[in-house]
Amino acid sequence: MLAEPFNWHPGMWNMLIVAMCLALLGCLQAQELQGHVSIILLGATGDLAKKYLWQGLFQLYLDEAGRGHSFSFHGAALTAPKQGQELMAKALESLSCPKDMAPSHCAEHKDQFLQLSRYRQLKTAEDYQALNKDIEAQLQHAGLREAGRIFYFSVPPFAYEDIARNINSSCRPGPGTWLRVVLEKPFGHDHFSAQQLATELGTFFQEEEMYRVDHYLGKQAVAQILPFRDQNRKALGSLWNRQHVERVEIVMKETVDAEGRTSFYEEYGVIRDVLQNHLTEVLTLVAMELPHNVSSAEAVLRHKLQVFQALRGLQRGSAIVGQYQSYSEQVRRELQKPDSFHSLTPTFAAVLVHIDNLRWEGVPFILMSGKALDERVGYARILFKNQACCVQSEKHWAAAQSQCLPRQLVFHIGHGDLGSPAVLVSRNLFRPSLPSSWKEMEGPPGLRLFGSPLSDYYAYSPVQERDAHSVLLSHIFHGRKDSFITTENLLASWDFWTPLLESLAHKAPRLYPGGAENGRLLDFEFSSGRLFFSQQQPEQLVPGPGPAPMPSDFQVLRAKYRESPLVSAWSEELISKLANDIEATAVRAVRRFGQFHLALSGGSSPVALFQQLATAHYGFPWAHTHLWLVDERCVPLSDPESNFQGLQAHLLQHVRIPYYNIHPMPVHLQQRLCAEEDQGAQIYAREISALVANSSFDLVLLGMGADGHTASLFPQSPTGLDGEQLVVLTTSPSQPHRRMSLSLPLINRAKKVAVLVMGRMKREITTLVSRVGHEPKKWPISGVLPHSGQLVWYMDYDAFLG
């Protein structure tokens, strides 16, 4: 009896074809990965290599050696061969195997790894040439195909350039292979030095060849942030935004101090050492828009860069800093400093960060780290808003149901009471989904974390804990770039942090005793875009029998300047005072007349004021405010040189002001800039006359240039100093030369004029103008005197006292 022919369903054919394609693709990928890999560890006898890197390389060997790859490991340093070999052998003695590996197998693998590892001195160009010849000879002798080479730079950055030059000239693998160069932080000291270093390395290596390591990205809880967000998209989709997130805390606390490392710490401090890199990277993973494919390195890196582009600039008031009391003594001892030396390097810092985009506008991100604190722990905590009111008493609240209990998601990076990496999700949020490499965990009885018992969380920990460097070495081997810092992202980070670092360079940190004795001394609060210590006390510049006075201890000074009221203070207090005065003037004007007309100058001095008004004055009557410009450069409004562009970047985009109440100067008409025949000045004058009663602004904010100019009214130029014109075209001695400006007669019609003068560079002109009479043609600022209004000078101590 003949069997009936088997009838293939069209869907089965499709399934068979897909399976065959997948199998073929797998074979091709395996073939692509197979080959010999040479790994050269530079700085092979250093602390990092001994503590982490050799163990990480051994783990890489255990993971990959059975998959068709062959390896050779070259430990390299400047040390002479005999001594170097002894030091490296000592470092390799501590290699360990996974707990589930049989001792006999472990011994066998360790023996194989040791046979593949050798030390060599890499000091001269000839040494690198010899290394290259040895690798090629080994390949030829064993008949191996070379897959690629990894050079791991576990050396100080000053050595990078020479090593990079030698690798590029002598040690590049041949065609059809890859080169991967691994770089350890620090990647510069500020934006300028980071740019210099990046440029140097860029002359020797392609961007895709460089892997900048931030070991925090290899921490299992940190590496889980994006996969967790991706796997729980549905649950988090409606929660991950400013409507539901109260704040985000990203923290790394240490109990150890900087003893033995003060030479490094004096140069970098806690912000450069931890916040600029580790904590900022965690911030980007939490805040970035989630790509459709989180496995795409290109998409992940692009979305991280978008976070940097949305970060609001930091001010000095965005941060608080501290220093444990014995630090200066340690520096004096280790660096042979005189007894009178007292360091200003912070060992503790907290920074308030805001992200100006639709998802995160208004949500505070708090980054905090320090040494000599009460515990060692790291975490990223997302605290959700709680708008529930529960009628029953707390004893009836069920963890999985009650919305009155705290709602939080915590990526517990390590250490602390929990003692291991973990992901914690409040049971009243949602039950999370995690990969099979994570398991539900139970902690010790009675353990409380972030204000709640552990039983109030869905808690997960890795099935197998792995060291961060081990994870990252695996990613380097497989060419996964998303776990590393690109040049573009590095420079974006330094661009964000450098202004704050410069502003804090001479700020005395709050001293704290260290450990449990800190008590509440470092507790802090945040309000109106600023951080401040909860316990206010005069800060001490140097230890002594009594507290030394600090700038913040001085009261705002009120006096007279050119027969008009003068307000003088340190820059931060001055800006705060001026912002408060402007708000008070605005509130009075709106109460009396229903609107407030404010004319603002451009330049660098008012930037801090704009930021203060944008972030700390929620009672400002923006809906009834008209904004005008005092002067404008003859450039398109979108040009970075434009005063309006500065106003837009630092103020307008952050406040709710009707667009029809914003009045930029018409410098760009008929595709021309400040052409007389376009009558831009006359157009602006007519607009002022139509909207501002009696053409009298409620408040005009001016500055004073080092040559005595104000607005865009310049010495030795009569334009705009008298006459009937309200708005004029002028010529500046500096580029761009053409300007549009309110005239002096129009400025003097104002109800109030505030002149803001800041910085030591203004000290000379401040002294000079204090002595001159009414000479506007020589010193235009001397012509500012409102006919029936008030003139108030606002000067910081640098400008007023020098």
The predicted-structure confidence for 420-439, as pLDDT tens digits, reads as follows 999 999 998 999 999 999 99
652 and 754 together in one domain: yes
Report the 10 Å Cβ neighbour count for 307: 22
Q: How far apart are CA 612 and CA 570, in angstroms?
A: 15
In this structure, are 111 and 258 located in the same domain?
no
Residue 641 has, within 13 A of its CA and on its CB side, a CA count of 12
Tally Cβ neighbours within 10 Å of residue 715: 16
The reply to whether 251 and 132 lie within a common domain is: no
Residue 581 belongs to a domain: yes
| pLDDT score for 445 | 82
Q: What is the pLDDT of residue 65?
A: 83
Alpha-carbon distance 273 to 256, whole Å? Answer: 14
Q: What is the number of other CB atoms lying within 10 angstroms of the CB of residue 532?
A: 14
Whole-angstrom Cα distance, residue 351 to residue 471? 29
**417, 516, 686 from 519: Cα distances, Å:** 19, 6, 63
**CA 597 – CA 626 distance, rounded (Å):** 5
DSSP 3-state of 700: strand
Query: What pLDDT, in 10s, does the model give residues 570-624?
Result: 988 999 999 999 999 999 999 999 999 999 998 888 999 999 998 878 889 999 9
Instruction: Report which residue type is found at 780.
Output: P
Residue segments in the chain with a per-residue pLDDT below the cut of 70: 1-33, 395-401, 536-558
496 and 362 inside one domain: yes
Domain range for 137: 36-184
For residue 399, the model assigns a pLDDT of: 63
Nearest CA among 271, 315, 276 for reference residue 529:
315
Length of the chain counted residue by residue: 802
Q: Among residues 184, 201, 232, which one ends one of the domains?
A: 184
State the CATH number of the domain containing residue 145: 3.40.50.720
| Catalytic residue ranges | 278
**Euclidean distance between the first and the last CA atom of the chain, given in angstroms as a whole number:** 111
Identity of residue 483: S
Tell me, yes or no, whether 15 lies in a domain. no
Please state the domain count of the chain.
3
CATH number of the domain within which 638 lies: 3.40.50.1360
pLDDT of residue 11: 52
- Note whether 175 and 238 are same-domain residues: no
The answer to the question of residue 211 being in a domain is no
Q: Are residues 671 and 745 in the same domain?
A: yes
The predicted structure's pLDDT at residue 546: 41
Query: Which residue has tokens 């500065």?
Result: 646
